Structure 1
Amino acid sequence: MTVAAHDIRIAEEDLLRAEVYDLLAALLADPPTQEKLSALGRLTGDTTAMGKAVETLAKLARNTSASSVEREFTELFIGIGRGELLPFASYYLTGFLNEKPLATLRKDMASLAISRAPNVYEPEDNIASLMEMMAGLIDGRFGTPASLEKQREFFNRHIAPWAAHFFSDLEQAKGSVFYLPVGTLGRTFIGIEKEAFRLGNG
């Protein structure tokens, strides 16, 4: 008898981690609609670095339009030919797209039974997909929730070597306004995850 993913109790702090990964994935995959901006505008933060980034993001979401965020998203990630940033592991780690990090990721995806969504055309090593994969490993959307050891292995191989650098670049990008606190949130969260996984090794 197999145990369904929803029958396995996931700790509340792990569900919160998955929510942050999902939030980053959603914001980096597509520009938010007006409805999503309204939802983001209702988020509340606290006095931590992550909490302050959430507060800033919520404030911007309440005071901007979907069309202006879409323009910013296009300039940052798409552009004419290319955007200001190339949010791919291969690019950050080798200077080129579709390199060894992508091949390694595809191999690991196959072993974890993670398949590429049919409506996604970008290489799988883009930051949005990696954030979504990490959320899925935590909450079990690819099957049984992954052990912390498997999460750590995936994170250390595919996210830790470059994601903080990308999020820092996003904070400092010329075109970042709405996406500046997204960069802060991502950089801070990746730092917390890296440290938590490091301490978990002991």
Structure 2
Amino acid sequence: MHRPLASEEQARADFYALFARLMASAPDAKLLDTIAIAGEFPPDGDPALARAWSDFIAAAAVMDPEALREEYQALFEGMGAAEVSMYAAFFLGATAVDHPRVLLRADLARLGLGAADHVSEPEDHWALLFDAMRVLVAGGAGRASATIEEQRRFYQSHLQPGVAKFFHAMKAARSANFYRRVADLGLAFEALETESFRRD
């Protein structure tokens, strides 16, 4: 058994779990309801993240699930070309010669985070990257949390180079409505993570 997480670490893991879920598919009515009744941000929390969180839960309270499903499809699954790529390599200008998935696969294997057999998406899908960070922060399934140094190395190697570009692209996308609030939340969260890992 691994020891319970400190409240700050649990909050980080919860944010990564939320982003992983929101990138995997559009939230259904049940998830929207759960988000809408989530509590306000702690008064001593980061002001930018608190504002983004408040706007996010307010948007969830009024969002129609069917409209959100259509929004997700237009943004990330569009016929021909999606408005926003779900793959981190896109935001790094990756080439076939030096593709970041090669390094990502090696790091995932080293950390014991290889993709499950039922997962068909490439490893650099944002849902999978966010979920990998969740596991590194929280542990689970018989494994302890990774060290801060391991978390930093993975984040700085595989998320930090493209995650802000991803959320900015999402925010600017023509079809974005609810996901514009997701982008604001993501930008506020990644700014905190980036600064925290820089200081530690």
TM-score by shorter chain over 0.5: yes
- Cα distance in 2 for partners of 1:113, 1:166 equals 26
Q: 1:136 to 1:97 in 2, by over 3 A?
A: farther
Q: CA deviation at 1:121?
A: 1.7
Return the TM-score normalized by structure 1. Answer: 0.90
Return the TM-score normalized by structure 2. Answer: 0.91
CA displacement, residues 34-68 of structure 1 (integer Å, 9 cap, x when unaligned): 11111011123347221222222212211121111
- Cα distance in 2 for partners of 1:151, 1:135 equals 10
- The percentage of counterpart residues that share the same residue type is 31
| Consecutive aligned runs of 4 or more in structure 1 exceeding 4 Å deviation | 95-99
Aligned length: 195
Q: 1:88 touches 1:127 (CA, 8 Å); kept in 2? A: yes
Alignment-mate amino acid for residue 167 of structure 1: F
1:82 aligned residue: 81
Q: 1:22 touches 1:131 (CA, 8 Å); kept in 2? A: yes
Q: 1:43 touches 1:54 (CA, 8 Å); kept in 2? A: no
Q: CA deviation at 1:95?
A: 5.0
Q: 1:37 to 1:65 in 2, by over 3 A?
A: same
- Cα distance in 1 for partners of 2:55, 2:118 equals 31
Alignment of 1:16-95 (within 5 A): 16-46=11-41, 48-95=47-94
Question: Structure 2 regions of 5+ residues with no counterpart?
Answer: none
1:144 aligned residue: 144
Alignment-mate amino acid for residue 15 of structure 1: Q
- Cα distance in 2 for partners of 1:66, 1:96 equals 37
2:4 aligned residue: 9
The structure showing larger relative contact order (alpha-carbon pairs under 8 Å, at least 6 residues apart) is 2
